[in-house]
Every structure is written in C-alpha cells, then in structure tokens.
Structure 1
Amino acid sequence: MFNFVAKQSFNTTRNIVINPAILARTKVVDLKVKWERPERVSRYSRVRSGDIGTYVQPDPSNVCLQYQYATELENAEPNVRNQFTLGWHPMEYSKEFYEKSLMDSVRSHRYDYTSPVAMIAQLTGSIRFMQHAIENGIVHSRKRHFYKLETYRLIQARIQLIKNLRETDYKQYEWLLERLDLEFKPKPQKEDEIMVARKEGLRQLTRTYCEDVRKQKLDAYRKELESQQLPFLAQKLKNLKFIRNEQIALKVDITISKQQIDEVRQQYEQLKIVEDTKKIEPTKKKWKIY
C-alpha cells in the first residue's frame, strides 16, 4: 500500500508594511479652502506698466511730421495733399505723430527733446502704440515677439526716468503722472516679494479661514450672552430686593444699599429701551391716490 501524503496549504500572504507618509499623501482630505493659481500678468501689459491711458489713433487726414512745414502743400490739390497724410503712410508715421502730441502736452518749449519730462512722454507714446499693436494683432507673429521685448525694455527705461524725476522734483513728478495718465509701479524689494506656491497659499487661506470661523463663533456667543442679559438683570434686581428685605426683617447688617439697587434698575431700564427699539420695524408710508 502506498501512503498518500496530503499537500500542506501554505499561506503565501505576507505582512505588508505601509509607510505612513505615503498613506498621508494618498489620503483624500476635504479642505475647506480652495487655492487657485493667480493669473500671470505679462511683462508688457498695461496693468504691469502702469499705463491707465491707451493709445489714441491720430486723424488719418493729418499731414505727416516730415511734411508739416512744407509750404508747397498749402496750395496743393487735395489729391496731391492726401498722399502726404497719415492715412497714406505706414503706421510708424502715426506712432511718431502720437509721440509728438504727448511731448507737446508736457514740454516747456518747442525744441525740448532731452528733458526728463519730454523723454518720458516720448517713451509713453511708443509703449502705448506697441501695446495697442500687440493686443489687437496688428503686427504679424514674428514682429509681435520683437514688440513684446521692445515694450518691456522701454517700460524699464521709463521706470528709471520716473524714479529719478521723483527724487529730484516731486511736484513735477506728480504733475507728469496726472498729465500723461500714468501710475508709477516700482519694482518691489526682495523682502516684500511673495513667492507664488500652492503649499504657502493653502497655509495662508487656511489661516484666514480659521480666523473667520473663530470670529463667527465669538459673534454668535456674544449675541447669545446679549440675549440673556435682560433676564439676568431682572433676576438680579429681584434677588437684591429680596436679600435687602430679608436683612431688614431679620435685623442683621445690611450689605446691599439702595444705590446698588438703583444702579441695577437703571441698567435694566436702559437695556430694555434698546431692545424695544430693535423690535420696532420701520412703518411703510401709505400713499393715497386722489
């Protein structure tokens, strides 16, 4: 006879050790706050450059700057004169005309081209023209990239000029910003810079949320105590009268004076007046039709 040996069933399962750090990362946490990445502001946008005003397209019927002092155009025919206007020339001529209009509004005399005020006005005209061209897609893609880099360069140059003007002549600095419709936005210091990060943003939002919850609970508890204040004063007034009468009847030392009872009564009456005024709703006027 053969002896049949039954196969033993071995448990192949092993003790799996789970790292708590991995479990914490995979756990779904229902946060009460939501962090959203702020929208990136481009370096050439009006929000970052401080240009409140925008580019204004000059009248196409205006004569180009190069031909404004030509006496021959005064008696020329309309068809001939139109060929020297802005409408018949590339947009670079309109840009120069707009720059000159801004310079004329701030410079002290006709030949002022190198003063800080005139240079800031000229840079402002170029910046606004390029921003207008980028936003409206006037230029093609290759030139648009050049416009973005050039706009950022001009913005930095204008910031430096405005900063120098602010240090030397503050009144003229204020007048210039109001005249050109500008807003000065200097670069923040390193200690004032805020790193945009999800973890730090969630911490700040959580801190603000906890403060709001704490404030709401304290306000609710304060309202609850205020609602119990009137019955408490009424019961306190009743107890003080009872204790004083009992002390007088038993002929013992009186520890409660009439002044204390009057003070509590006065507090009760004042608080009752305030509560009654809160309950009164403003009556609506009834208009009669005749």
Structure 2
Amino acid sequence: AIMTSEIRHLQEAMKRHPRNKRCKVFLKELIDKRKKYLSDLRRWDYRRFEWFLEKLNIVYKPYPEDFETPTKKGSVRRVTAKKCDEIREAKLAAYRAELEGQQKDFFREKAEKLAFIRAEEIACGLEPTITEEEIQLAQQKAAEFNDKN
C-alpha cells in the first residue's frame, strides 16, 4: 500500500517534470518491485492477492512467459530465418512439382521394366518374382497420370 501511494505520488511528479530522470528511474524500479511482490503474493495466496488489487484499485499484468528483449541482432536473425524458410519452402515446392511431373514417365517405365523382368525370368525357367498384379498396378498409375495431364 505504501509503494502504491508513493508510485501514484511519483506519477504526478512525472507529469509536472517529465524530464526528471532520477524520478523516472526510481518510479520504474518501484513499479518493478511492487510487481515482483504482487507476483509472489499471487503465487502464495491468490484470494488475498485479489483482495489487495481490489482495495488498491490497481490492475495486475503478469510477465510474459517467453519475454525476449528486442535487439537488432535478434530481429535480423528472425527475419533471416523467416526468409530462409520461405526460400526452402519455395525450392521444395518446385522440386515436388518436378518430381510429380516425372511420375508419369516413371510409372510407364516401371511397368515396362517389370514386364521385361517377368518375361526374362519365365524365359530362363525361373519362378517369377514379379506378379501380374504388380505390373497392372504400375500400368494403372501410369494411366492415372496420363489422365491428369
């Protein structure tokens, strides 16, 4: 309560003399100290904390959980990281589009190669390791990509 009355008195003094640096620094330190005490009281006894706020007619704003002082270096790092992420995403999207464009030829070649391997295994008298279903599945996928494009 004493801190609050002193803070209010110093705020009035700051309105009259806004360039008084000592007063400004002392006011800020006093506000920070009161905020620290309020946060401790809030953690220990919330009901008393609320009563205290009501009686003193003040508003408590808790500290942000992930507070980081803004610096030029930090800002540059964040902007750089954001720009790098955008470039990376653009390159990945372009590469993905290129790969999707190649899928049509890939599945067509896959079906041909699977059919050739199966024919070679049968010609050599071996038991075929590739089934007709696998060949048909590759041909269906190639047909799907032909229909899309």
TM over 0.5: yes
Task: Give the corresponding residue for 2:43.
Answer: 167
In structure 2, the CA distance between the partners of 1:207 and 1:196, relative to structure 1 (3 Å rule), is same
Are 1:245 and 2:119 counterparts? yes
Task: Give the corresponding residue for 1:185.
Answer: 63
Measure, in 1, the Cα distance between the counterparts of 2:127 and 2:30.
88
Question: Out of 71, 86, 107, which is 1:196 matched to?
Answer: 71
Measure, in 2, the Cα distance between the counterparts of 1:172 and 1:268.
75
Task: Give the corresponding residue for 1:225.
Answer: 99
Task: Give the corresponding residue for 1:20.
Answer: none
* Per-residue deviation, residues 184-239 of structure 1 (Å, max 9, x unmatched): 11798xxx8657245x6545544543343233212321221123223311321132
Structure 1 or 2, whichever has the larger Rg, is: 1
Measure, in 2, the Cα distance between the counterparts of 1:271 and 1:240.
13
Measure, in 1, the Cα distance between the counterparts of 2:36 and 2:77.
36
Measure, in 2, the Cα distance between the counterparts of 1:243 and 1:175.
84
Q: What percent of counterpart residues are identical?
A: 28
Are 1:157 and 2:33 counterparts? yes
Measure, in 1, the Cα distance between the counterparts of 2:114 and 2:65.
68
Measure, in 2, the Cα distance between the counterparts of 1:267 and 1:170.
67
Preserved CA contact (<8 Å) 1:233 1:264: no
Preserved CA contact (<8 Å) 2:111 2:135: yes
Measure, in 1, the Cα distance between the counterparts of 2:137 and 2:52.
63
Please report the RMSD computed on the Cα atoms of aligned residues, expressed in angstroms: 4.9
State how many pairs are aligned: 141
In structure 2, the CA distance between the partners of 1:195 and 1:181, relative to structure 1 (3 Å rule), is closer
Task: Give the corresponding residue for 2:90.
Answer: 216
Measure, in 2, the Cα distance between the counterparts of 1:241 and 1:272.
16
- Unpaired stretches in structure 1, ≥5 consecutive residues: 1-118, 134-138, 280-290
2:18 partner SS: helix
Q: Determine which structure has the larger helix proportion and give its number.
A: 2
Preserved CA contact (<8 Å) 2:104 2:142: yes
Q: Offset at 1:269?
A: 4.3
Question: Out of 97, 102, 108, which is 1:234 matched to?
Answer: 108
Measure, in 1, the Cα distance between the counterparts of 2:18 and 2:38.
26
Give the TM-score normalised by the residue count of structure 1: 0.34
Q: Map of 1:122-161 to 2, 5 A cutoff?
A: 123=4, 130=11, 142-145=16-19, 149=24, 151-161=27-37
In structure 2, the CA distance between the partners of 1:176 and 1:218, relative to structure 1 (3 Å rule), is farther
In structure 2, the CA distance between the partners of 1:151 and 1:187, relative to structure 1 (3 Å rule), is farther
* Per-residue deviation, residues 129-167 of structure 1 (Å, max 9, x unmatched): x5xx8xxxxx99643346x72652442233122222133
